[in-house]
Structure 1
Amino acid sequence: MKPAALLLSTAMMLASAPMARAEVPNVVVSVKPIHSLVAFIMQGVGEPRLIVEGAASPHTYTLKPSNAAALQEADIVFWVGHGFETILERPLDALGSKAKIVALEDAPGLQKLKMREGGTFEPHQDDHTTEAGANGADDEHAHNHDGHAHEEGGFDTHLWLDPANAKAMAAAIEETLSAQDPANAVTYEANLAALNANINALDREIRQTIAPVKDKPFVVFHDAYQYFEHRYGMRVIGSITVSPETMPGAARISEIRQKVTELGAACVFAEPQFEPKLVNVVLEGTSARAGALDPEGATLPEGPKLYLDLMRSLATSLRQCLSSAS
């Protein structure tokens, strides 16, 4: 575009900005990682509202009156879907056709991994991946109360922990926003391109960060990291609990401790939202070190940068603990 034409185009956009801003949809998002993707794409246009704020976990969160009010005022609601934020199922059903509800677990191009059973699962196999739309249908939704899908055909819902999935969800977010708010479609499209560039660079950075430690086995608090593990070839050998709101019994703790010893796990990772003393119990009598991972950004400030910071923090925490272990 020639300079004169560019100036004219810019002037026209600025002149129409007040009208466009008045048309901006009221957007509500369920959890921090998804909110971050939406906030990045909406930069310069508007700010989405977040339901599960601060260090709260969607596994144990109780909706507040302010959350209910935000949902009632929403034009668009983005959430992962039925298998993750079970707290939102009834409130979203009650909205009827008042808002466009977008389950990002249905975004085209997602790679979905089947949920592993039990706390001492084996390293992933390549035959447990599925893709949305493959064989003519998406994976069947599984309704449950622990954020994990255990029914036949169900899948792990921590989809954002694979950067390729984050890009697929971001594309669905941009498409929804542009269709609802065409006056700002150019901005949404430009922001999506910038987000994709950032995610691509982050993906390369993470591979470099964890390369020296990716073959060291470790145990996590709950099985939330399968997408990260699958993307970067890491060795998660088990989880302390399957359902993060249900504490494991003595038999499971003993089983995990035995596996930590037998397989030489370098680290056992806690999570900031849950009681860390269980990790200390698992570590007793082993040579493994304690670490912490934050798969949902509980300790990070909400906003456009959170997703990038969350993924970078996971890689850094893994590198620090695993590299210092014997």
Structure 2
Amino acid sequence: MNHAFCSARILALLLLLCAVLLPGCAARQPQSGKIQVIASIEPLAWFAERIGGERVAVSVMVPSGGNPHTYEPTPQQMAEVSRSALFVKAGSGVEFELDWMDRLLALNRKIAVCNASAGVTLLPMGEEEHKHESETGEHRHEHGHFDPHFWLSPANARLIAVNVERSLAAVDPAGKAYFAANAAVLDKELQALDGEIRWQLKGVKSRRFLVFHPAWGYFAHEYGLEQIAAEEEGKTLTPRQMERVIRQARSAGIRVVFVAPQFSSAQADAIARDIGGQSVTVDPLARDYAENLRKAATAFARSMQ
């Protein structure tokens, strides 16, 4: 057991003791009177803000630029959990949640939990992710063989909105009509977003794109595209894997490697140089969900022309 894990465990126990012994320490509202909501990742915070509006104060666990595979919450964030009313989790196998969810919920036994992926059909990791093996022959999948990035599909986003609306109404019954009205507006926007992306991708010549980290499988599935992924689980590629990706990209005529800002771009840049192309950043965890999906769709469309 490493030192960081021990320190985090001790801190969690101390905060839990605070929640038990101090009256009103757990699940109280801030002085503003707003419902305190905490989301595991930035896109889910956006849904809580859009639907909760003026009745909520939303914070996020994995901040902008943070890597959900490795991020550890700060003491301040753990204290926020101890006094929040609602936790919005992905529930799809995001590694941060697998590592931390039980410990975070132990800080506040009264906190409600919204499973944002309720009702979503989770997709298995694509064959390109499954067939990778380490030099020792190991074959590990921390996500339970399912792709956790379900929010990157507008159809799934509509389900997220439904789940968040219901959870907010349960925590704050007085705001039920307000949340429903906001959710209805958002649902129309998400339907319009889906139409925009379909129109944008309708005429692309190729239907394949190369990503360094396999985050865009739901987007690809939604719009009839094929995601070719270089790595899995955030691991550095071996020379053999690098060669395989380069051969695959050349065979498909791909000249763009998409990389997430949460990961180093060094190997993606190296692949791009070898195929005579470029690396382009697309963020699967950006806060402004709708605008981010528009930008990503534009980037993918340009790469497949």
Relative to the length of structure 2, the TM-score reads 0.80
Question: How many residue pairs end up in the alignment?
Answer: 266
Gaps of 5+ in 2: 1-30, 132-139
Aligned position for 1:76: 86
SS at match of 2:195: helix
1:315 maps to what in 2? Answer: 297
2:161 maps to: 170
Q: Distance in 2 between matches of 1:160 and 1:214?
A: 26
Kindly state the Cα deviation for residue 215 of structure 1 after the two structures are TM-superposed. 2.7
Match of 2:283 in 1: 294
Counterpart residue number, 1:34: 44
Distance in 2, matches of 1:205 and 1:29, equals 27
Task: Quote the Cα distance in structure 2 between the aligned partners of 1:267 and 1:279.
Answer: 9
Q: Give, in angstroms, the shift of residue 288 of structure 1.
A: 4.0
Aligned residue in 2 for 1:271 = 260
State the superposition RMSD in angstroms. 2.4
State the percentage of identical aligned residues. 27
Q: Which amino acid aligns with 1:254?
A: E
**In the TM superposition, what are the counterparts of 1:43-54 in structure 2 within 5 Å?**
43-54=53-64
* 1:263-292 Cα deviation digits (max 9, x unpaired): 222422122222112112223442444322
CA contact (8 A) 1:214 1:235 kept: no
Structure-1 separation of matches of 2:130 and 2:82: 42
1:111 partner amino acid: T
What residue identity is the alignment partner of 2:52? Answer: M
Tell me if the contact between 1:119 and 1:252 (Cα under 8 Å) persists in the aligned partners: no
Give the match for residue 143 of structure 2: 149
Letter in 1 for 2:121: Q
Q: Distance in 2 between matches of 1:46 and 1:285?
A: 49
Equivalents in 1 of 2:122, 2:129: separation in Å? 20
Which residue is 2:185 aligned to? 194
TM-score (norm. length: structure 1): 0.75
Counterpart amino acid of residue 170 in structure 1: A
Q: Which amino acid aligns with 1:259?
A: Q
2:12 maps to what in 1?
A: none
- Structure 1 residue ranges, 4+ long, deviating more than 3 angstroms after superposition: 21-24, 117-121, 320-323
Mapped to 2, the partners of 1:208 and 1:214 lie a distance apart of 14
Deviation at 1:214, TM superposition (A): 6.3
Any conservation in 1 of the 2:78–2:104 contact (CA below 8 Å)?
Answer: no
Three-state SS of the structure 2 residue aligned to 1:155 is coil
Structure 1 residues 62 and 51, CA gap change in structure 2 (3 angstroms):
same
Indicate the structure whose relative CO is greater, using CA pairs within 8 Å and at least 6 residues apart.
Answer: 1
From 257, 262, 266, the counterpart of 2:246: 257
- Contact 2:207–2:224 under 8 Å retained in 1: no
CA gap 1:214/1:189 in 2 versus in 1, 3 angstroms: farther
Letter in 2 for 1:247: T
Q: Deviations over 1:177-222 (max 9, x none)?
A: 1122111111100000011011011111111222232634221011
CA distance in structure 2 between the aligned counterparts of 1:284 and 1:179, rounded to whole angstroms: 52
The reply on whether 1:280 has 2:290 as its aligned counterpart is: no
Secondary structure (helix, strand or coil) at the match of 2:212 reads strand
